[in-house]
Amino acid sequence: MNTDMKTTFHKIARLLAVPAAFLLASCSDWTDPESLGLHTPEIGEEYPEQYAAYLENLRSWKATAHQAVLATFDNSTAEPSSRAHHIASLPDSLDVVVLTAPELPEWQQTEMEQTRRDKGTRFIYAVDHDGLRSDWEAAGGADAAEWTAYLAERMATAFDACEQYGYDGVLVRYNGKSTLHMTPEELAVYTAEQRAFIGPVTEWVDGSEPKLFLFGGDPTTLLDPKLLLKADYIVVDTSAATSVDELTFAVRSCMGPQVPAGRFVVTVPTVVRDDPDAVGYYGKEMALPLAAEDTTLHVRRAVSIPYLDMTIDTAARFGVEICHNDYREFYIPGGQRYRGTDFAVEGDWSAAAMLLVAGATAGEVTVRNVSMLSKQADTAICEALVRAGAAVIDEPHSITAARRPLRGFEFDATHCPDLFPALAALAAAADGVSVLHGTSRLQHKECNRAEAIREEYGRLGIEVDLSEEDTMRIRGGEIRTAAVRSHGDHRMAMSLAVAALRAAGPVTIEDAGCVAKSYPGFFGDLKTLKA
């Protein structure tokens, strides 16, 4: 950013800091409200020359080569009731904004055009494969052939809004599936479905230059990745990452032989004041030591505290200091640099938890290269196993879980929400009702895990009750033969597979190949338990 722009920006910032106060009075006998005609002048009205210079510098900056800032804005409010509903109130620093509702009322279109003209911000909307699938299922769709036809029909008009409302481009979201475990018949159906979605995208991209084209989702699931070479950016969803290891894993999972990783942009959650769980500070903790100035982060209510500890500990091993005051404030000195070091990567306790539950419910299992001394949150699975009555043997570099008569148990997974699928399989095998707390943490995982557990375990004959706030109650019982869905969630697929070890007959899991996200060899290891 050049000096003139900085000077203008600081002048405007000082002006914005001037406080205003309003005195409201009421009386018991008034009838209709009276408009007082109050008007607070905007910065551009009060200081037109300075603001015009600021905007000119802003547009010039955005036209240069720099690290772009992208954001999603929920514009679904038809009638604005606060400044937060206005496109014109978006931060000036944004380069590209993805609007969630493509069809714009006149006032939104006007604000979009003015913001683009004044601030150089570009606007796009999303064409979402999973969203189209949800619409089709909500309408009662079930047949695969009908779904492909429906998809082709919707995609025929998916890009019309781009010209109609004057958008600068489109974000195409597609997650797809792993073809690793597909039969030839399943692969043929999957290929036809992908072509019905990606074909129109390719046609639009080829005919719409220089419109922006962003790809979001899992690029490795594209059968023909050449389309990615035409993408301006590839958006990798890392918003669920709670440590640098998970962030790195999420990015590496999207890399492939023909995937241009140099175009990756990663997503981070922003803090929502109404949602105490939306902390989103883990990635910031890793990035802010590189800032020029010191930073203090204020947290209303910290959750997943073990992951905060892991982040701080990992940063310290690379020579970076992060301090906190009982997890309410985090002080991060600026001007730091990460230093190379020798680092031993621990075994993954989230994966180990599934195998240990398999041992506790269907036979004895020993998992090596894990230790109870780890800071990983999911070491808590051992506490849950003991509460349920399983035998747990802790050795220096391994943990063993063995089957014993299991009883219902109570467990709070607020700080280790990734354990819920494993805990569900454990509770399903226990005698009586198990009570699990912390379900509010499950809504924004790979799927809404609380609802997915209720739905899929219900198909297996297990009663799951979510009527109490932040609580899941599971009544254990026999597992019956059924066809269930993974919901594209690797932990759900593993959970259902572990539960199926106790079934009297076959259990079919749709899209079981999604386990490749974190544990590609899971089913191979699981087979040894049945041998």
Q: Hey, which residues are catalytic here?
A: 418
The helix/strand/coil state of 306 is helix
Q: Give the residues across from 401 on adjacent strands.
A: 365, 392
Contact 296, 334 (CB under 8 A): no
C-alpha span between 425 and 430 (Å, rounded): 9
363: left (phi over 0), alpha (psi -120 to 50) or beta: left
φ, ψ of residue 228 in degrees (nearest 5): -65, -25
Give a three-class secondary structure readout of 28-84.
Answer: CCCCCCCCCCCCCCCHHHHCHHHHHHHHHHHHHHHCCCCCCCEEEECCCCCCCCCHH
Helix runs in 160-304, H state only: 160-164, 184-207, 244-253, 282-287
C-alpha span between 318 and 310 (Å, rounded): 13
The helix/strand/coil state of 268 is coil
Contact 176, 194 (CB under 8 A): yes
- The total of other beta-carbon atoms located within 10 Å of residue 475's CB is 16
Rounded to the nearest angstrom, the gap between the alpha carbon of residue 438 and the centroid of all alpha carbons in its chain is 18
The secondary element (H helix, E strand) that includes residue 189 is: helix 184-207
Rounded to the nearest angstrom, the gap between the alpha carbon of residue 143 and the centroid of all alpha carbons in its chain is 29
Helix runs in 340-415, H state only: 349-362, 381-388
- Cα within 13 Å of Cα(200), Cβ side: 19
Radius of gyration, alpha carbons of the chain: 26
The helix/strand/coil state of 354 is helix
φ, ψ of residue 465 in degrees (nearest 5): -115, 125
Whole-number Cα distances in Å, 353 to 4, 211, 425, 521: 56, 47, 11, 15
Rounded to a whole number of angstroms, the distance between the first and last alpha carbons of the chain is: 64
Residue type, 495: S
Nearest to 425, CA basis, from 491, 506, 375, 332:
491
